């Protein structure tokens, strides 16, 4: 996803109350983790699901690049799970969450 577009979506969502730091933002097409990175940087908890194992690995590598800063600032760490989003409820439930 284009980072500029995602930033606008998240900021408008925060301004309008669509997202809140105590909620959980769910991205059912996680890719390389851009949504997780931007969400964490804005203080939002996020969980992403990605079908392709190679993209899950890339997302985790991308998250690792930011983890030290997020921890130092007390920001939430994003989560990415490997699976088919057509089974989103089961994937999230297995991770200890709810949809």
pLDDT in tens, 31-89: 999 999 999 999 999 999 999 999 999 999 999 999 999 999 999 999 999 999 998 88
Q: What is the pLDDT of residue 94?
A: 76
Q: What are phi and psi of 24, to 5 degrees?
A: -130, 120
- Find tokens 């909620």 and name the residue: 23
Q: What is the pLDDT of residue 24?
A: 87
Which residues make beta-bridge pairs with 45? 24
Q: What are phi and psi of 6, to 5 degrees?
A: -60, -40
Q: What is the pLDDT of residue 97?
A: 62
Residue 99 — very low, low, confident or very high, per pLDDT cuts 50/70/90? low
pLDDT in tens, 17-28: 998 888 889 999
């Amino acid at each position: 996803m284009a980072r500029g577009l995602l930033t606008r979506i998240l900021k408008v969502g925060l301004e309008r109350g669509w997202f809140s730091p105590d909620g959980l933002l769910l991205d059912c097409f996680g890719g390389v983790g851009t949504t997780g990175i931007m969400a964490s940087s804005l203080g939002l908890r996020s969980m992403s699901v990605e079908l392709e194992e190679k993209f899950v690995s890339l997302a985790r590598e991308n998250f690792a690049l930011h983890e030290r800063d997020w921890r130092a600032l007390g920001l939430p760490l994003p989560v990415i799970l490997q699976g088919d989003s057509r089974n989103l409820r089961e994937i999230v439930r297995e991770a200890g969450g709810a949809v």
